[in-house]
Amino acid sequence: MTAYTDALAARVQRAARTVVGVTAVRTVRAPPGSPLWHMLQSHANTPLPEVTLERRFTTRGSGVLLAPRGAVLTTFRLVRQADMISVTVADGRRLRARLVGVDPASDVALLRLRGDTSTLPVARVGDAQRLRFGVLVFALGHSPSDGLHASMGIIAARGAFSHTAPEYDDLIRADVALRRGAAGGALINAAGEVVGINTAQLRLGGGGKVSLSLPANVFAPIVKRLAAAGSLRPGWLGVSLQAPDPAVRKPLGGWPYVGAQVRSVVAGSPAARAGLRAGDIVLTVDGHAAGGNSWLRARMIARGPGETITLSFARRNCDAAAARLASLVPRAPSPPEEPSRALECTLAPHKISVRLASPPPPPHGIAHLALSEGPLGGVTLAQAPARIDGKTDASSSQGVALRIERVVPLSPAASRQLAVGDIIVARDGAPIASLERFIARYRREPGPLVLTVMRGRRVRLLIGVQ
C-alpha cells in the first residue's frame, strides 16, 4: 500500500508542475456622466473632477502548460478584456503572457508565454471518455497564498447540468472541492494525465459541492485550432445530440450500446442531405467514439467547413421485426398455431461520409448578437417583431422584442434566472427600437436597468438588473 501511495503522490506532484497561476489585470474607464462615474462619485468623500476615471480590477486563477514553447490553457472568463496577463510557473518565475485566441462558448483561452520556456514541463493529456463513475481524480490549482495545491475525489457523473444550455452535456462532474484559484487548473486521473480543465463549482442541497470540468476530448481540438490559427471556424453538420433514449440504452439485436442519439436534424443541412434522422444513434465520427453536443462541436472545429467526415450510426429498425411477426400470423381467421410474440426492434449499422458546411446566416429580418460583458453577459439575443402576446400596449406593440436564444451556464445572465425562450419586450418601461440600439445603449449604460421579460404567453416578469 505504501508503494502505491508513494507512486500516486509522485504522479500528482509531477502533473502539478505543469499547473501555473494566471493573473489578469483589466482597466475600466469611466467617462464623466457615465453610470460608473456616478457610482464612484457616490462613494467618494469629496467631489470628483470632471475627468475620465480609471479603476483596475485583478482576477486570479490557474492554467495548464499543454504544449512546448509556453502554451497555456486557461478559462476565457479569467482573461476576458484583460489589459495585462502574467503567469507564475512552478519554479516561482513570473512571466508575461499574450492572448493567442479564445472560445467563449467553451470558456477556453489559449495564452503564449514570453521569455525562456525551454525548461518548463508539459502536461500529458488523457482520454476523458474512459472516465467512469467512481474513478479517482485530483483537482490541481495555483493560488497566490498557497501556491500549488491539490484536492482528491471521484467522478460523480457525466452530462448536462443546466436547462439553459443543452449543448453543455459533456461536462465532468466530480466530488472534488475546488480551492480558491483552482478554476482553469487541471483535473487529472490516477495516472497523472490531464482529463479535464476545472471550470466551476456548484453548491448542492445539504451543503454538498460538485466541481465541473471541461473534458480533454472537448478542449484538445479547440486548443489545436487556436494554436494554429488564433481563431475558430467550425464546420456545420446540422444536428443536435442527446443521451440515448432509455429504450435503446440496452443492446438490441446484439448491437451494443454506445454513442449519442440524434435529437433533431436541421432541414437542408449536411446531415439531412446525408440521410441522418432524429432518433439515429451516432456511434463514431472519424473513428472516435461519439460524445454529446460539446464533443461534436469540438470535432467540427477540428475539421472546419468544406472538409469531409466519416460518420457511423445505428438506426432502430422495427420494420423487419414487424414483417417477421406478420409472417407468423395465418391468413385464416383461426387462431395461429404459435403464440404471438412481442415486437423486437434491432439496431442496424450504417456508415456515411458528410461534407461539412459553414453555419447558415440568420433568417432574413432577424439579427443575432451575443453579449459577454455586464449583467447580461452570457446571453445570445435574436431580434423579432414585438407583437408577442397579441396585445397593443407600449411594451409589446411598438419596436421589436428580443428573444433569448442561448444562456451560458454560470454566466451573469444565468445567475439572474434568464432562460432560453424568454422574451425581452422593454427596457426601463420603454419599448425597444432595435437590437442594435439596445446593444449600443447597453454598452454605454450597462446598469442598473429594469427589463420587462415574458416567459410564455401569460407570465410577465419584471427583472431589475444591477
What confidence tens digit (pLDDT) does each residue in 264-319 have?
888 889 999 999 988 888 888 888 877 777 778 888 888 889 999 999 988 876 65
Lowest mean pLDDT among 62-76, 93-107, 249-263: 249-263
Please tell me the distance from the alpha carbon of residue 257 to that of residue 240, in angstroms, as a whole number. Answer: 19
Flag whether 31 is in a domain. Answer: yes
Flag whether 338 is in a domain. Answer: no
Phi-psi region of 187 (alpha: psi -120 to 50; beta: other; left: phi over 0): beta
Q: Tell which wins on pLDDT, 179 or 37.
A: 179
Percent of the chain having pLDDT more than 70? 76
Domain end: 183, 203, 226, which one?
A: 226
Flag whether 87 is in a domain. Answer: yes
Examine the domain organization and report whether 307 and 374 are in the same domain. no
Q: Tell which wins on pLDDT, 55 or 446.
A: 55
What total of structural domains would you count in the chain? Answer: 4
Examine the domain organization and report whether 28 and 81 are in the same domain. yes
φ and ψ at 401, to 5 degrees? -115, 155
CATH number (domain holding residue 347): 2.30.42.10
Query: Once rounded to an integer, what is the mean pLDDT over residues 115-135?
Result: 89
Please name the residue that has the C-alpha cell 473534458: 215
CATH number (domain holding residue 164): 2.40.10.10
Task: Give bridge partners of residue 188 from the DSSP assignment.
Answer: 138, 194
Q: Tell which wins on pLDDT, 40 or 124.
A: 124
Examine the domain organization and report whether 212 and 248 are in the same domain. no
Q: Tell which wins on pLDDT, 369 or 145.
A: 145
pLDDT of residue 394: 37
Q: Tell which wins on pLDDT, 299 or 446.
A: 299
* Structural domain span for residue 154: 128-226
Examine the domain organization and report whether 379 and 453 are in the same domain. yes
Flag whether 296 is in a domain. Answer: yes
Examine the domain organization and report whether 94 and 147 are in the same domain. no
Q: Tell which wins on pLDDT, 264 or 35.
A: 264
Domain end: 176, 191, 226, which one?
A: 226
- Residue 391 pLDDT grade (very low, low, confident, very high; cuts 50, 70, 90): very low
Examine the domain organization and report whether 207 and 252 are in the same domain. no
Q: Tell which wins on pLDDT, 340 or 200.
A: 200
pLDDT digit string, tens, across residues 167-226: 556 788 899 988 888 899 999 999 999 999 998 887 776 667 788 899 998 899 899 888
pLDDT of residue 447: 63
Flag whether 67 is in a domain. Answer: yes
Q: Tell which wins on pLDDT, 217 or 443.
A: 217
Query: Once rounded to an integer, what is the mean pLDDT over residues 62-90?
Result: 91
What lies within 8 Å, CB to CB, of 368 at 6+ separation is 362, 380, 381, 382, 383, 405
pLDDT of residue 362: 53
pLDDT of residue 298: 81
Query: Once rounded to an integer, what is the mean pLDDT over residues 404-421?
Result: 77
* Greatest C-alpha distance within the chain: 101
Q: Is the pLDDT of residue 97 over 90?
A: yes
What is the 3-state secondary structure of the chain? CHHHHHHHHHHHHHHHCCEEEEEEEEEEEECCCCHHHHHHHHHCCCCCCCCCEEEEEEEEEEEEEEECCCEEEECHHHHCCCCEEEEECCCCCEEEEEEEEEEHHHCEEEEEECCCCCCCCCCCECCHHHCCCCCEEEEEEEECCCEEEEEEEEEEEECCCCCCCCCCCCCEEECCCCCCCCCCCEEEECCCCEEEEEEEEEECHHHCEEEEEEEHHHHHHHHHHHHHHCCCCCCECCEEEECCCHHHCCCECCECCCCEEEEEECCCCHHHHHCCCCCCEEEEECCEECCCHHHHHHHHHHHCCCCEEEEEEEEEECHHHHHHHHHCCCCCCCCCCCCCCCCCCEEEEEEEEEECECCCCCCCCCCEEECCCCCCCCEEEEEEECCCCCCCCHHHHCCEEEEEEEECCCCHHHHCCCCCCCEEEEECCEEECCHHHHHHHHHHCCCCEEEEEEECCCEEEEEEEC
Examine the domain organization and report whether 55 and 146 are in the same domain. no
Query: Once rounded to an integer, what is the mean pLDDT over residues 372-388?
Result: 70
Q: Tell which wins on pLDDT, 89 or 464.
A: 89
pLDDT of residue 355: 92
Please tell me the distance from the alpha carbon of residue 361 to that of residue 346, in angstroms, as a whole number. Answer: 39
**Mean per-residue pLDDT of the chain:** 78
Examine the domain organization and report whether 386 and 459 are in the same domain. yes
CATH number (domain holding residue 107): 2.40.10.120
Which cell is 33 given?
456622466
Please tell me the distance from the alpha carbon of residue 101 to that of residue 228, in angstroms, as a whole number. Answer: 10
Examine the domain organization and report whether 203 and 143 are in the same domain. yes
pLDDT of residue 374: 72
What is the pTM assigned to this prediction?
A: 0.69
Q: Which of 129, 125, 94 is nearest to 20 (CA)?
A: 94
Quote the crossing angle between the two packed helices 293-303 and 216-229, to the nearest 10°.
30
pLDDT of residue 293: 74
Domain end: 174, 191, 226, which one?
A: 226
Examine the domain organization and report whether 401 and 319 are in the same domain. no
Q: Is the pLDDT of residue 457 over 80?
A: no
Flag whether 30 is in a domain. Answer: yes
Q: Is the pLDDT of residue 47 over 80?
A: no
Which cell is 346 given?
434491432
